[in-house]
Structure 1
């Protein structure tokens, strides 16, 4: 695990699950906006191939080189390598909270994070 990028922005390391990225109406704009207050931003997930495809297809900022790591090891490695005051993991369900809690990351549901930041979400297809 390594951090391959970053900015001189804020004192936060921000990681999104793949499902959270897919809920954002404009993920590239959201991650670029997050750069204003985050030193590191990117996508982490068990589905590394899915992360690579979405990052490439949507030209998303991706500061994390995940290699073959699962979500647990990726979040642990990011926390070890990133020297920031806050570590926030954004995901879609309360079930996603476990690795964040165990590895001492703050947890945010994507709906809550999007509302606070002013990022639009895609319409819920089940509504």
Structure 2
């Protein structure tokens, strides 16, 4: 068994696609209309185009708002992405106007930072031990 797909709830799929591709550097994999306004919209790492897909899922379900609000209020990231250099990514993304809620922080062998994805979520980036 392996993870094939995971998701983040987003307020606006078009805005999310722009952020996740143009700022974070992911690549669009699937974009299929579902219903009148929603899409089955996934992105992948350009380094692993056949790897795990991230679904940019519409946040329309009634439970999503209270769930995300509680996580954000407590400063808890919804997801974590691995990067080679947290400090370098922090600088690059900050220069693009990304708002961070946690600057790079060394936590033993792991360095993390947390940013607002502009779509209703806090996302953590981490450099993991090699």
TM-score higher than 0.5 here?
Answer: no
Larger radius of gyration: 2
Comparing both structures, which one devotes a greater share of its residues to strand?
Answer: 2
Which one scores higher on RCO, CA 8 angstroms, separation ≥ 6?
1
Comparing both structures, which one devotes a greater share of its residues to helix?
Answer: 1
Compute the TM-score of the two structures, normalised by the length of structure 2: 0.28
